[in-house]
Amino acid sequence: MNSLTQDIKTLLNLAWPVVISRVGILTLGITDTVMVGRYASEHLAYLGIGMVPSNIFILIMIGLLMGTSVLVSNRYGAGQYDKTGEVLWQALPWGFAIGLGGFVFCYFGEFWLLLTGQDAALAAKGGHISIIAGLSLPLAAVHMTTGFFLEGIRNPRPGMVIMIAANIINIFANYVLVYGVYGFPELGAEGSIWATFIVRCAQVVAILSYVWFFIDHEKFGLRKPKLTWKGGTELRRIGYASGISMGLENGAFNALVLFAGFLGTAAVAAHVIMINVFAVFFMMGLGFGVATAVSVGNANGAGDMRQVTRWAWLGLSIQSVIMVVGGIIMFVTARQLGAFFSTDPAVYNLAAAMIAWVAIALVFDTGQSLLAMALRARGDTWAPTLIHFIAYGVVMIPLAYIMIFPLGRGAMGLADGVILGTLVPFVLVMWRYRHLDRQTALAQPA
């Protein structure tokens, strides 16, 4: 019992700063949504549709950079502290290059939106938003990469503090640029995206300054940069699998935004609200997922397979309890949450119904994410990718389409898609992790 209590405390101590950091990522977006939603419903639709290209790319980018967290946590667990800095030096230019690729992708945002059959006027407005959002992607990549390094060496609190400060800046910048106060132009949805760019700049300066001035350079090998393409092979290998996986997941969720676009601006706005609410609670669970994956990665690096098993199921248990409570809160407060984001009754009533229904998916989505990260932390790179292809490509998108259109569920079919698309990977990753546990147990001597 003492060992269990200590493990729970260890996990919680690592998890709570990560939870605040991950929730902080979402509250940046929530600030944009609230400010723009209260400015004008049509601008919220421009924001929602315009963020689709960057939203699709940013999770692919996170996946491509996930090797940073895996390798740093493995080397930290093995006691090879001086080799963790090598990973960071390899990852920073790789991440910046990926971010530049994201900007190019977002530059053609209007083209991608028109390609999906969106209304020309909506696609034009959204395409302009997409270009501005793309400017932030190289900055976001540098910030994420450095944050993964700090989490991998079990030092997530600086990232938490930076994220809290970023949210304070974002609230003020949104107010000034969306509504046009203090002599600034009234930019609406465009203003909220420029506010994000300002915040990204501040985050990069802050987190790089912390690593440069407050981290033990000698201990973590930060004074010995080794920038070679071959040296980053393992980093990229992990990233390719994770990037495809996250791209499939985020692509499926953003396909739902495109489906909503066919239902009208009210459906798009309501869907944006539902996803923002769901994402806040999801990020709370994701914090426990990151803490679990780091602990699994440390144990894997140390060669302690008993702890690889223990950390995963302990983390999932704690996360599930918290997410059940979160789902109940979502259901009970659905109407208030909808009204918080919009003053348009047609939008917030629809959003409330969708929030109440989608709450059931919270345990599934956070659980599958935790175990997928834990699988990669123990070296099982491609299985989560295959599972996500099945879940999102084969199940989520086709079934959501059927629910929305042929079965006439309309906007509620968007929530149906989320529920079905998260239940499938949850079941499959649990089976996969348990299967590897059994294989490991059989391979070890009695």
Measure the CA–CA gap between 155 and 148, rounded to whole angstroms: 10
pLDDT of the residue at 117: 81
For residues 65-83, one letter each, b for 16 or more C-beta atoms within 10 angstroms of the residue's C-beta and e for the rest, the string is bbbbbbbbbbbbbeeebeb
One digit per residue, the tens of pLDDT, for the chain of length 446 reads: 568 888 889 898 999 999 899 888 878 887 888 888 888 878 888 888 888 888 878 878 988 999 999 999 999 999 999 899 999 999 999 999 999 999 999 999 889 888 878 788 888 888 989 999 999 999 999 999 999 999 999 999 999 999 999 999 999 999 999 999 988 888 888 999 999 999 999 999 999 999 999 898 889 988 777 777 777 889 999 999 998 988 888 778 878 878 888 888 888 888 888 988 898 889 888 889 999 999 999 999 999 999 999 999 999 999 999 999 999 999 999 999 988 888 788 888 999 999 999 999 999 999 999 999 999 999 998 999 999 999 988 888 999 999 999 998 988 999 999 998 899 999 999 999 999 999 988 876 65
Instruction: Identify the sign of the CA torsion 413, 262, 111, 270.
Output: negative
315 CB-near residues (< 8 Å, 6+ apart): 11, 288, 289, 291, 292, 295, 370, 374
pLDDT of the residue at 26: 75
Letter for the amino acid at 421? G
pLDDT of the residue at 279: 84
pLDDT of the residue at 2: 63
179 CB-near residues (< 8 Å, 6+ apart): 35, 39, 186, 191
Element (H, E) at 369: helix 362-377
Letter for the amino acid at 242? S
Query: Comparing C-alpha atoms, which of 12, 183, 149, 18 is closest to residue 76?
Result: 149
For residues 169-196, one letter each, b for 16 or more C-beta atoms within 10 angstroms of the residue's C-beta and e for the rest, the string is bbbebbbbbbbeeeeeeebbbbbbbbbb
For residues 124-141, one letter each, b for 16 or more C-beta atoms within 10 angstroms of the residue's C-beta and e for the rest, the string is ebbbbbbbbbbbbbbbbb
- DSSP at 183: T
Element (H, E) at 312: helix 305-332
Tokens encoding 105: 């992708």
pLDDT of the residue at 264: 85
Tokens encoding 26: 């979402």
